[in-house]
Each structure stands twice: as structure tokens, then as C-alpha cells.
Amino acid sequence: MTRLLTLIAVGIILAGGMAATVPASAKSSCVRAGGEATMLTEELAKFMAGAALKNSIAGMSAKAKGTVSMKCTPGLLTHCIAHQRACK
């Protein structure tokens, strides 16, 4: 049980620390925000990647636009990356 809690804690730290933005265009004030997480199950990884994405958008004081794209890679630990357009 302790190992599970350790892995969850590591996933939370990774999800919170991994957020990236890439400019959508030079003219627009929109960016492609992202968040990622690595967890034991796909459901947890998706949830934490979504939470990291929301934190990334909130940290930019932007508003989410469009749908969230989520890509997950299964393995011993599942790694998910979430992206969404965010505009100021």
C-alpha cells in the first residue's frame, strides 16, 4: 500500500510540474496549453493530466477554448498528455 501511495504522489508531482505552452500564432493571443501525468491506471493518468492542463491554463490567466485532446501510452505506468487551446 505504501508503494501505491508513493507512485500516486510521484504522479501528482509530475502532473503538476509538467505543463507546456506553444504559441498558436504570432497574431493571436491564444496558445496550446498542455498537462501530463504518469500513474498506475489509465483513469488516474487521464484525471491528473486533465488537472495539470487546467492548472496550466489557470496559471496563464487564460480561458479554455475547444475540446481537450488526450493521448495515453500504456505500460507498467500509464502516461497521458492533455492539450487544449487557451486564449487570453
DSSP per-residue letters across 46-73:
HHHHHHHHHHHHHHTT-EEEEEEEEEEE
Is 50 exceeded by the pLDDT of residue 52?
A: yes
Rounded to a whole number, what is the largest CA-CA distance in the chain? 51
pLDDT in tens, 28-51: 699 999 999 999 999 999 999 999
Identify the pLDDT of residue 3.
Answer: 54
Q: CA 73, CA 49: separation in Å to the nearest integer?
A: 12
Is 90 exceeded by the pLDDT of residue 27?
A: no
